[in-house]
Amino acid sequence: MRCGKRRNEVDSVSVATATKRSGGTAAAGKRPGPGRDHSAWFLVLPALIPILILSVGPLLYGIALAFTDAQSGRTQPTQWVGTLNFQDLLHDTLFWDSFRIGLLWAVGVTVPQFLLALGLALLLDQNLRFRWLARALAIIPWAMPEVVVGIMWRLVYNPDAGILNETIRDLGLGDGRDWLTGLATALPAVILVGIWAGMPQTTVALLAGLQNTPHELHEAAALDGAGAWRRFRTVTWPALKPVALAITALNFIWNFNSFALVYVLTNGGPGGRTRLPMLFAYEEAFRYGQFGYAAAMGCVMVAVVSVLLALYLVGRLKGDQDR
């Protein structure tokens, strides 16, 4: 707490927002605004301390580790090595392979998933029968542990006893194949699972966005004779855009950083074709004990997703302005 002046500023802001929210003036000045006393800090500390110790602290420690030769189970003390890990990373073709695969996977999951989820959200926004069933089913992938999702799809993809190949055989399209171990099919196969697994969150966010769109505008546009596509383009999409941008950026980040699903499906195989950056870093850290090197990989991943995060924040700010 620097001085009283600062706190008064805070108070007037919160009062202003409170007044705006209640749409009136009554009692606004007497509102028990946090910041008037020190209790805001007491309310925040129980969460703030663990956050600092177990989240912010480790993050900074992790960045520091990237500049050391830290290894597990070694007797000599850890030393600063400057940017050596990063220089090694530059020449590590395996890492860049995994990086490329990570980007392919993240784009390959995020974009089709967005389109599919948008379609589903638009459908669920309509007054259709069985909508409740779709809503309930759409939640299943969300409730399942990622490990189970991976196991479940391995059963689907199973070359002999799986339903996918059986369907292919039934349709007379051939014998099917071993999707998860084929060099060409492994990445598309895991991408399909990624799309499936992330559908609920994306759909729910888009549906929420749709329900915020001004309905009167929609009707007015319809009365003016605008077709469905035109109404979507001129009314729905402009209102949905901030949400769409935000969820897409977040999905891309989550996908780029994902681990469990692919660990269970292929464990990075065949021949590294599905080895996402997180799988690579995990092996480097906990199989080979190269903590410093793996931390450097983490730093590079953070740098990449930070760009996306910036996009996301811009999207959110815009969303606030539009309101």
Partner 1 sequence: MSTLRTSRAARFGQYLALLAYLVFLAFPFLWLISTAFKPAPELGSLHPTWIPKDPTLANFRQAFDEQPLLQAAGNSLVAALAAALIAVVIATPMAYVMARHRGRLATAATGWVVVSQAFPFVLVIIPLFLVLKNLHLINSLLGLVMVYVVWSLPFALWMLTGYVRAVPAELEEAAAVDGAGRLRTLVSVTAPLLAPGIVATALFAFITAWNEFFFALVLLKTPEKQTLPVVLTHFLGAEGVADLGPLAAAAFLATIPSLVIFAIIQKRITGGMLTGAVKS
Coil, strand or helix: which one is 80?
Answer: strand
Least distance in angstroms from the C-beta of 51 to partner 1? 6
Contacts for 108 with CB less than 8 Å, ≥ 6 apart: 187, 188, 191, 194
Residue 282 φ then ψ, to 5°: -60, -45
Residue 121 φ then ψ, to 5°: -65, -40
Nearer to partner 1, 109 or 205 (CB): 205
Least distance in angstroms from the C-beta of 11 to partner 1? 9
Nearer to partner 1, 63 or 104 (CB): 63
Least distance in angstroms from the C-beta of 184 to partner 1? 19
Least distance in angstroms from the C-beta of 162 to partner 1? 7
CA distance 244 to 209: 8
Nearer to partner 1, 51 or 90 (CB): 51
CA distance 95 to 279: 10
* CB distance 250 to 312 below 8 Å: yes
Least distance in angstroms from the C-beta of 284 to partner 1? 9
Q: Exposed/middle/buried for 91, CB within 10 Å: 0-12, 13-18, 19+?
A: exposed
Nearer to partner 1, 90 or 163 (CB): 163
